[in-house]
Structure 1
């Protein structure tokens, strides 16, 4: 029984991964179930055992992406060895890496801008990152890294919009790379943070730079 359950789990994960690749490349409407099956090496019966429809499969991809965003946010928020703004940089840097290398996160990004799933954007990865960003902004105010008059909600909204804009700019170019996206995300964060940071933090940052960054090996994408 345990071996059957593990086989079923692996089959379901393979179908979701293949679906993410297909949705990421073709979008929802043009996505082909046959290509998803070919990529997953699963049978049609196995697919319909786990998923009722293409929409059900797309929502499974969205849910998997949300789990990854949640794990990312929780892992960085737990870093007690770093100041809140360095934690924020590490989290933003990981998101850039995932947008470049994680097919699940790439598919979520593609799906939530389509009419069929646009309503899901408010409950997706962006919401999780936004909540974590606000927590870190409050911590940064309390720790004297951001000025006392900083509005955490305004900070969070502005950062989220700027990061989304940079993602849209890099993606259509076609020759963008992980380094491009990471550099753009870091630039956005630095501009916004320096506009609201205390003089002491700015002085230390210009001397030492960021103390944390994400590593591709830590993302668990081979699992």
Structure 2
């Protein structure tokens, strides 16, 4: 029984991975179930044992993306040795790296801009890391690191929109290797407008600390 369960788990994981590759490459509507099956070495019967439809398989990819985003954000929220802006910086840099190396995350980003999954934007990966960015902004406000009267919701909203735009433009211009720098740039522009003068003076002198590798195993 345990062996059968492990085989079923591996088959499901292989289907999700193969589907992510296909969705990231071709989008949802054009994705081929046969190509997904070929990539996973699974039979059509095995696929329909785990997933009733291509849509259900796509939603499994979306959920896998959320899990990766959750694992990443939790790593940085646990880092109490870093200030809120420093932890947020490390989060957005690792977020850029995750977009670059994880086909699951690439597929999640591609799927949520397709009509069938517009509603999933509200519960997808951007919601996960956006909530964490907001928590860092609240912490910064409580520690006096934001300018007086700064709106933490506006801080998060503008940052999230900028990162999404940078991610989209990186696909159009095929400059994925620069995504971490572009994400960092977006954060610095928002901070220049909303961080306290004291924090900005310290940042101008010291810059960002080293983040280290916090990416999960992919």
Q: What is the TM-score of this pair, normalised by structure 1?
A: 0.94
Give the unaligned 5+ runs of structure 2: none
* Residue in 2 that maps onto 1:213: 211
Given that residues 24 and 110 in structure 2 are in contact (C-alpha distance below 8 angstroms), is that contact kept between their aligned partners in structure 1? yes
Determine whether 1:86 maps to 2:86.
yes
* Cα deviation digits, residues 171-211 of structure 1 (max 9, x gap): 1113x133x11110000000101211112211221222112
* Aligned-partner Cα distance in 1 for 2:212–2:184: 12
Structure 2 vs 1, CA of residues 111 and 105 (structure 1 numbering), >3 Å: closer, same or farther?
A: same
Given that residues 23 and 111 in structure 1 are in contact (C-alpha distance below 8 angstroms), is that contact kept between their aligned partners in structure 2? yes
Q: Secondary structure at the match of 2:115?
A: coil
* Residue in 2 that maps onto 1:13: 13
Given that residues 19 and 58 in structure 2 are in contact (C-alpha distance below 8 angstroms), is that contact kept between their aligned partners in structure 1? yes
* Residue in 2 that maps onto 1:60: 60
Q: CA deviation at 1:219?
A: 2.4
Given that residues 89 and 212 in structure 1 are in contact (C-alpha distance below 8 angstroms), is that contact kept between their aligned partners in structure 2? no
* Cα deviation digits, residues 28-47 of structure 1 (max 9, x gap): 00000111011111111111
Q: CA deviation at 1:214?
A: 5.7
Q: CA deviation at 1:57?
A: 0.2
Give the unaligned 5+ runs of structure 1: none
* Residue in 2 that maps onto 1:101: 101
Aligned residues: 218
Determine whether 1:183 maps to 2:185.
no
* Residue in 1 that maps onto 2:142: 142
* Aligned-partner Cα distance in 1 for 2:59–2:212: 27
Q: Secondary structure at the match of 1:117?
A: helix
Q: CA deviation at 1:213?
A: 3.1
* Aligned-partner Cα distance in 2 for 1:134–1:51: 35
State the superposition RMSD in angstroms: 1.3
* Aligned-partner Cα distance in 2 for 1:194–1:146: 10
* Aligned-partner Cα distance in 1 for 2:79–2:58: 33
* Residue in 1 that maps onto 2:116: 116
Given that residues 65 and 125 in structure 2 are in contact (C-alpha distance below 8 angstroms), is that contact kept between their aligned partners in structure 1? yes
Given that residues 23 and 107 in structure 2 are in contact (C-alpha distance below 8 angstroms), is that contact kept between their aligned partners in structure 1? yes
* Aligned-partner Cα distance in 1 for 2:83–2:210: 10
Structure 2 vs 1, CA of residues 210 and 156 (structure 1 numbering), >3 Å: closer, same or farther?
A: same
Q: Secondary structure at the match of 1:29?
A: helix
Q: Secondary structure at the match of 2:147?
A: coil
Q: CA deviation at 1:17?
A: 0.5
* Cα deviation digits, residues 114-164 of structure 1 (max 9, x gap): 001111111101111111111100101112222232111010101011111
* Aligned-partner Cα distance in 2 for 1:212–1:40: 38
